[in-house]
Amino acid sequence: MTRARFGLYFIPQPGRLLDAGSAIAGCNARSGQTIEQPEYVRPEWQTVSGTYGFHATITDAIYFDPSNLNELKRRTGDVLSCFNPANRYVLSKQHVEFWGADGAIVVLKLTANPAVQMMHDVLVTSLHPLGTGSEYTDALQRDPAAYFPASPPQVNQTKQFYAPYIIDNFVPHFTLLNPYQGSAAERRDLEARLVSEFEFVEDIQVDTLALVVQDAGAPHFRIVEEFSLHGQ
């Protein structure tokens, strides 16, 4: 059974970006509703991405005790209140990219401006320790010799903060599909279609963060509270 998990996500407000991304990923992260995919996307390519919905991760999916949810809300608000409300948090589009040895994770890769990187660093080190572990710590405990990524800093990040893609390994992105299992020819066609689909995206202003929770056994994450980054 899935254990309860929390994370802080940037979820676009209702509009073109959320609609386009939700159709590809398979789920609207705001409503929790499954979205009909375009004809060039197979449902089996959305089985993981649909769990999370279309979003950009700021803090990772971390196991936690649901009785501590109010503490998580309080701590998130306290940390965010430390930042200048005049800060501009911007994610800039790079390109569509296939990740992993088999290219199973398809993302719209982004670049974080310094304010987003700073916010990520502080939130990860403040909030991750309130959890109890993650899928990464599970993998590390099962077989330390086979743990990937295996660089010593990422192993230590996993031990201390339950995730390896954080701090100086943070690469912001929107996950579009996971797990992609198509052929090389399908990949070329898919990449061209996705590039065209998100051609309108340039710089994305991040004005809110959503505290999301996946309850034990639930199929999707849900928003439990959304925080303004401008003190409103």
Confidence check: pLDDT of 149 > 90: no
Q: Report the length, in residues, of the chain.
A: 232
Is residue 136 situated within a structural domain? no
Q: How confident is the model at residue 100 (pLDDT cuts 50, 70, 90)?
A: confident
Region 113-141: mean pLDDT is 98
Region 189-217: mean pLDDT is 97
Region 184-212: mean pLDDT is 96
Region 180-195: mean pLDDT is 94
Is residue 138 situated within a structural domain? no
Is residue 147 situated within a structural domain? no
Is residue 158 situated within a structural domain? no
Work out the percent of the chain whose per-residue pLDDT is above 70: 99
Is residue 47 situated within a structural domain? yes
CA distance 30 to 109: 21
Residue with tokens 């254990």: 3
Range of 221's domain?
A: 5-128+171-228
Burial of 52 (0-12, 13-18, 19+ CB in 10 A): buried
Region 72-92: mean pLDDT is 98
Domain count, the chain: 1
Task: Give the predicted TM-score (pTM) of the model.
Answer: 0.95
Region 133-143: mean pLDDT is 97
Assign residue 20 the CATH number of its domain. 3.90.1140.10
Is residue 204 situated within a structural domain? yes
Q: How confident is the model at residue 113 (pLDDT cuts 50, 70, 90)?
A: very high
Region 76-105: mean pLDDT is 95
Q: How confident is the model at residue 51 (pLDDT cuts 50, 70, 90)?
A: very high
Confidence check: pLDDT of 232 > 70: no
DSSP string, 161-211: HS-SSSGGG---EEEEESS----HHHHHHHHHHHHHHTTT--EEE--EEEE
Is residue 165 situated within a structural domain? no
Kindly report the average pLDDT of the chain as a whole number: 96
Is residue 216 situated within a structural domain? yes
Confidence check: pLDDT of 85 > 80: yes
